[in-house]
Amino acid sequence: MFEEMAKSPATWLSGQGDESQVVLSTRVRLARNVAGCKYPTSADSETRKRIVSYFDSVLTRSEILSKGQYYKAADIDRLDQDFLIERHLISPAFLDGDLSKTVLIGPEERLSIMVNEEDHLRIQALSSGLDAQSSFDLAMQYEAEISHHLEFDYDKDFGYLTACPTNAGTGMRASILIHLPGLVLTRDIDKVISRITRAGLIVRGFYGEGSDVLGNLFQVSNQNTLGLAEADILSQITEVAREIIEEEAGARQQLKSEAADMIEDKIWRAFGILKHARVLTSDEVMNLLSAVRLGYVMKVVEFIDISLINEILLLSQPAHLQKYYGTEMDQNQQDFVRAQMVREKLRDTGP
């Protein structure tokens, strides 16, 4: 499964779009539940199976949905599960407990719909760069399509009802994946994070809830789904993103004027290690790529482009690496083969 997918970069990491030098991608996720059915977390197995069959039948009746790739959770092996998580197409929670679950992956992997994750439906859309509107439009297109066939649990006061009340209302979460090496290096990041948090947003690492910050990649998302219109959430995340981008630019400017040699040295060493190392962990690659990405934007290493950096970032992840080489490997083998893959990808780049 997913062999072809593993060989091509994810569209949402293409390095295209607005502000793509700092914002890797924008995600919008909608939580929806089918009226009259218990939510997956409290439902019995029969109910969960019924939800899947409802969704199956939507697929047969919807032209747009039927074009997606559709998988049963139980049919996805462990490596492919990890692969889909790394590709941000499913969440780790999707694999917990009972596997009466399915996932639909839309064209170009910009869309995925998880059935029976925490809610009956989790519809998410991804865009490269800072583009909350088109992620929202894409998610809504599928939401509207499904709503022709299924009735969602909706309260005129509360809005959409969800398994966890923090998601009720719009049922919407918008998030950006943003690269902030400048603010980390100037040590202003904590100040910025606490201001974002006070403004009612959440800041996390690359892999979402509870994950470490690797490669100076931060996920910023809205916390409030209730009492705000969708358009307000989209403007809020976009506005916050623009503020952070400006602060990151300021930090980079400061580094350039106060510590140019140190920064250039850090960038070149990272490039030198990526180009020559024989053993590389996935975490180290993320951190080294962070320096190289900064170097590209600061015009220190202009010969390497963002889409290649993103491709290496994606392929360096354990499941991607194993899928890319078509074989399961232990940790040591992965670290060895990862270094080989990175060298191959960087072979023709250089000053």
Point out which residues bind its own copies (CB under 8 A).
261-262, 264-265, 268-269, 271-273, 275-279, 332, 336, 339
CB 57, min distance to its own copies, A: 53
Sign of CA dihedral 262, 267, 269, 270: positive
Q: Least distance from C-beta 309 to its own copies, angstroms? A: 16
CB of 304 to its own copies, least distance (A): 13
Taking the C-alpha atoms of residue 98 and residue 74, their distance in angstroms, rounded to an integer, is: 9
For its own copies, the closer of residues 149 and 275 by Cβ is 275
For its own copies, which is the closer residue by CB, 207 or 336?
Answer: 336
d(CA 66, CA 145): 11
Q: Which is nearer to its own copies, 256 or 275 (CB)?
A: 275
Closest contact distance (angstroms) between CB of 337 and its own copies is 11
CB of 158 or CB of 325, closer to its own copies: 325
The residues pairing with 105 across neighbouring beta strands, listed in sequence order, are 69, 112
| Calpha distance 115→122 (Å, rounded) | 7
CA dist., res. 263 & res. 286, Å (int): 17
- Least distance (Å) from its own copies to the CB of residue 86? 24
**Which residue, 70 or 336, is less far from its own copies as judged by CB?**
336
- Distance CA(307)–CA(222), nearest Å, equals 27
**What is the spatial distance between Cα 22 and Cα 244, in angstroms, rounded to a whole number?**
10
Residues 90-114 as b or e (16 or more Cβ within 10 Å = b): bbeebbeeeebbbbbbbeebbbbbb
Name the strand (E) or helix (H) holding 319: helix 318-325
CB nearer to its own copies: pick between 199 and 262: 262
Distance of alpha carbon 118 from alpha carbon 205, whole angstroms: 21
Retrieve residue 297's tokens: 């934007």
Q: How far is the CB of 214 from its own copies (least distance, A)?
A: 20
User: What is the smallest separation between the CB atom of 293 and its own copies, expressed in angstroms?
Assistant: 16
Residue 191 or 269: the one with the smaller Cβ distance to its own copies is 269
